[in-house]
Chains A and B, each alone.
Chain A
């Protein structure tokens, strides 16, 4: 059944694709006339219907639990305002049939008992399509919105998520298979000994009691993880089914892929049980030139003059509003102590002094204005070209073991996925590397081709009735 590549002789891999809701971030262009609401339910309906029409593995929603601030004020330049992740996924479960539903949910600002139950509810309501992108925050800034506060030492992030997932798994496994017998005549709603007591006591959590739901269709909802450090990779290799990576360059992707897959094997798992999906943006055109021109246009919308200044202020740590975005970089030096003033955003580069120096050199070498520099360092689109070219690239990455597929990020809400679905998906299908139909009743695990961990649930005592 598995076809092989005529050149390499290796089995041809199927491409896995996730659809990222183009919501709250600086990628989403709100100034375009085609940009709609990022919050009205119509937008989510449209997006989900498009993603399902495209036979994507899952749709994905990011989460932010406090509005970002820049220099002490709410950041006002990007799209902001989003729904509650679990609630909107539950609503979308009702109006979709096949597509997976994955959301980012914090293991810092939730309790394992409650979140495990909510994810199990979503899995039951959707017929086995739930997934959870696990994130942890060491951030007292976000914690200010929560009764627990939630400050967490940075070094303890994976300790907490590891124990959180372990506790959730105990809860997901706590009812025996076939626990609900609902035998009216015999008066037995539950089988005997069907409920196992969860009695978890660890450094992070103390949970004692009984779960409130039968095992869901997937047993355990799919776990997605996004960290990139060595600890993060180990965590994913042990606990996750998808790693949402930032390695979207081919050679970089191959190195990451090999590293993570070998860690998966070292954990006694099958390499296929963890899928690696980098986030990518794309711009399409009828010709390569047209696509390049559109890419330039979109980038200018993404990096407005004000956005360029605000971006630079994050590193310079001072008010740069007097500088011309179309002029040279500021002549003043960064205020190191005050850098990272945009709070509530995941920072990728912690060494601001080195970053400022690098940017200065780049701007001087290529005579870049502030805005041009920001576009250069932040605004590159991953795949730009004709639908055929983009499909070829996606397939090259997957067959070349630079990834197992991609999380596709469009730039318009809610229509950012339409063109990709209509033009790139058929190209992938024609190449025989992407599904043309969903399997009937398939779970998200089945769509991804990943197996659940072995359940540790109680042995059911079946009494004859």
Chain B
């Protein structure tokens, strides 16, 4: 089955994943790093403008419901003073970036386990207003015991990463992702809960809104219920873009049920093809209707003038960190030409988009913008740069306008 199942398959979309001082744990010690500015808006505005000016379709902002840890499921150790600790709230940061950027899609990470779906839905709708149709969201489930302790109402068992394929771990994963699916469903229903023409300002009857075009969502799930309607009128895109990072069957199925975009982490061409096939299978299993998922590949990049220099720079950072950098995604330390070749190869193998994770910020983002993007432009795989600045994120991703579910009901 061809993964390029939407009409704009000839085009390669680009995104950047913004995280701390970069994705390498020692990135903050790079000469060009600005670690003292991680908690200022200006640092993030500079990064976002670079990606915006380079014509990226979207940026994502990493976040979590607690402090960073040395390993993904590890506990917080306050003695870990040699790595970046602390983060701004990604949803607020994305809203802060909205008026200072022009065209790029803004996709903050949100937690679906401890947050209120109602607040998430309205905050992303507001982001869509503030950015004039450029909002997305990347939901993440959390089962970390230390994050649950911040709320104090639930406890989670320590997750056994070594046996994640076992039935116990899979049952837990199913539960967390089921809750995430509900949280996304609530956000989506709330975005539709006002029809586009709900505000009528009818002087004759004195009515500001037509209450028949507002809808209670009446969501009842295993973990929570939400009445609705939203307090925010339907956002400019109707449905902001939902993007999910996924590594295995249950998350692929969540993405297939609820996502517009899935970020996957292949390590070579063959894996890109096999994971894409798994994603398509998941779509069939959950009986996805409408647009197929946009499948994007994630890639960590470190760029220098020569391949040797790039390998040396990576080894230097590894030395500073004390351990070789390990990532769920493929790490490419190479020249701009080498990175561009990899992107073109993956595009040819079916990736509709690529989300680049710069090993060092702002350095590797600058090099992507100045070195890699022009090569992709020259290869003719990018959208023309003269994109309509008023285009929504959905439009830039080739997604059709979102039809309100309640309008479909009216017709039916």
Find out whether the CB atom of B150 lies under 8 angstroms from the CB atom of A209. Answer: yes
State whether the Cβ of A86 lies closer than 8 Å to any Cβ in chain B: yes
Find out whether the CB atom of A210 lies under 8 angstroms from the CB atom of B207. Answer: no
Shortest beta-carbon distance, A207 to chain B, in Å?
Answer: 6
Find out whether the CB atom of B81 lies under 8 angstroms from the CB atom of A190. Answer: yes
State whether the Cβ of A79 lies closer than 8 Å to any Cβ in chain B: yes
In the assembly, what is the distance between CA of A31 and CA of B199, in Å?
Answer: 12
Find out whether the CB atom of A87 lies under 8 angstroms from the CB atom of B122. Answer: yes
Residues of B within 8 Å of A307, CB to CB, are: 206
In the assembly, what is the distance between CA of A425 and CA of B248, in Å?
Answer: 61
With CB as the reference atom, state the residue of chain B lying closest to A208: B149
Find out whether the CB atom of B123 lies under 8 angstroms from the CB atom of A86. Answer: yes
Chain B stretch 205-243: residues in CB contact (< 8 A) with chain A: 205-211, 214, 223-229, 231-233
- What per-residue 1/0 map shows which CB atoms of B70-95 lie under 8 Å from chain A? 00000010110111111111011101
Given contacts A67-B214, A191-B81, contact A90 B35 (CB under 8 A): no
Query: Max chain A CB contacts within 10 Å: which of B65, B85, B97, B228?
Result: B85
State whether the Cβ of B156 lies closer than 8 Å to any Cβ in chain A: no
Shortest beta-carbon distance, B105 to chain A, in Å?
Answer: 16
Residues of A within 8 Å of B81, CB to CB, are: 188-192, 194
State whether the Cβ of A267 lies closer than 8 Å to any Cβ in chain B: no
Given contacts A67-B229, A81-B231, contact A41 B132 (CB under 8 A): yes
Shortest beta-carbon distance, B374 to chain A, in Å?
Answer: 29
Find out whether the CB atom of B320 lies under 8 angstroms from the CB atom of A187. Answer: yes
Find out whether the CB atom of A87 lies under 8 angstroms from the CB atom of B130. Answer: yes
With CB as the reference atom, state the residue of chain A lying closest to B26: A187
Given contacts A91-B99, A197-B78, contact A145 B209 (CB under 8 A): no
In the assembly, what is the distance between CA of A213 and CA of B39, in Å?
Answer: 8
Shortest beta-carbon distance, A124 to chain B, in Å?
Answer: 5
In the assembly, what is the distance between CA of A66 and CA of B118, in Å?
Answer: 10
Find out whether the CB atom of A212 lies under 8 angstroms from the CB atom of B86. Answer: yes
Query: Max chain B CB contacts within 10 Å: which of A189, A194, A197?
Result: A189
Shortest beta-carbon distance, A239 to chain B, in Å?
Answer: 22
Find out whether the CB atom of B78 lies under 8 angstroms from the CB atom of A121. Answer: no
- The one of A39, A91, A147 that contacts B223, using a Cβ cutoff of 8 Å: A147
State whether the Cβ of B119 lies closer than 8 Å to any Cβ in chain A: yes
Given contacts A91-B130, A111-B151, contact A147 B116 (CB under 8 A): yes
Chain A stretch 115-146: residues in CB contact (< 8 A) with chain B: 117-118, 121-122, 124-126, 144-146
State whether the Cβ of B11 lies closer than 8 Å to any Cβ in chain A: no
Residues of A within 8 Å of B114, CB to CB, are: 111, 114
With CB as the reference atom, state the residue of chain B lying closest to A206: B152
Query: Max chain B CB contacts within 10 Å: which of A110, A124, A146, A147?
Result: A147
Find out whether the CB atom of A118 lies under 8 angstroms from the CB atom of B85. Answer: no
Find out whether the CB atom of B33 lies under 8 angstroms from the CB atom of A184. Answer: yes
State whether the Cβ of B252 lies closer than 8 Å to any Cβ in chain A: no
State whether the Cβ of A58 lies closer than 8 Å to any Cβ in chain B: no
State whether the Cβ of A304 lies closer than 8 Å to any Cβ in chain B: yes
Residues of A within 8 Å of B97, CB to CB, are: 94
- The one of A64, A182, A210, A214 that contacts B28, using a Cβ cutoff of 8 Å: A182
Residues of B within 8 Å of A195, CB to CB, are: 67, 78, 85
Query: Max chain B CB contacts within 10 Å: which of A78, A146, A175?
Result: A146
| Binding stretch for chain B, among A69-77, A247-255, A332-340, A430-438 | A69-77
Residues of B within 8 Å of A113, CB to CB, are: 150-151
Residues of B within 8 Å of A159, CB to CB, are: none
Shortest beta-carbon distance, B247 to chain A, in Å?
Answer: 25
State whether the Cβ of A402 lies closer than 8 Å to any Cβ in chain B: no
State whether the Cβ of A65 lies closer than 8 Å to any Cβ in chain B: yes
Find out whether the CB atom of A83 lies under 8 angstroms from the CB atom of B129. Answer: yes
Residues of A within 8 Å of B132, CB to CB, are: 41
Shortest beta-carbon distance, A52 to chain B, in Å?
Answer: 14
State whether the Cβ of A156 lies closer than 8 Å to any Cβ in chain B: no
In the assembly, what is the distance between CA of A95 and CA of B210, in Å?
Answer: 34
State whether the Cβ of B188 lies closer than 8 Å to any Cβ in chain A: no
State whether the Cβ of B115 lies closer than 8 Å to any Cβ in chain A: yes
State whether the Cβ of A93 lies closer than 8 Å to any Cβ in chain B: yes
- What per-residue 1/0 map shows which CB atoms of A31-73 lie under 8 Å from chain B? 1000000011100110000000000000000001111000001
Shortest beta-carbon distance, B349 to chain A, in Å?
Answer: 38
Given contacts A145-B227, A208-B152, contact A86 B66 (CB under 8 A): no
Residues of B within 8 Å of A65, CB to CB, are: 118, 231
With CB as the reference atom, state the residue of chain A lying closest to B91: A87
Find out whether the CB atom of B66 lies under 8 angstroms from the CB atom of A209. Answer: yes
- The one of A76, A188, A191 that contacts B210, using a Cβ cutoff of 8 Å: A76
Find out whether the CB atom of A180 lies under 8 angstroms from the CB atom of B39. Answer: yes
With CB as the reference atom, state the residue of chain B lying closest to A37: B199
With CB as the reference atom, state the residue of chain A lying closest to B101: A94
Residues of A within 8 Å of B227, CB to CB, are: 66, 144-145
State whether the Cβ of B163 lies closer than 8 Å to any Cβ in chain A: no
Given contacts A109-B116, A189-B83, contact A39 B129 (CB under 8 A): yes
State whether the Cβ of B96 lies closer than 8 Å to any Cβ in chain A: yes
Find out whether the CB atom of B88 lies under 8 angstroms from the CB atom of A124. Answer: yes
Residues of A within 8 Å of B224, CB to CB, are: 146-147
- The one of A74, A86, A88 that contacts B211, using a Cβ cutoff of 8 Å: A74
**What 3 pairs between A and B have smallest CB-CB spacing?**
A206-B152, A147-B224, A306-B206
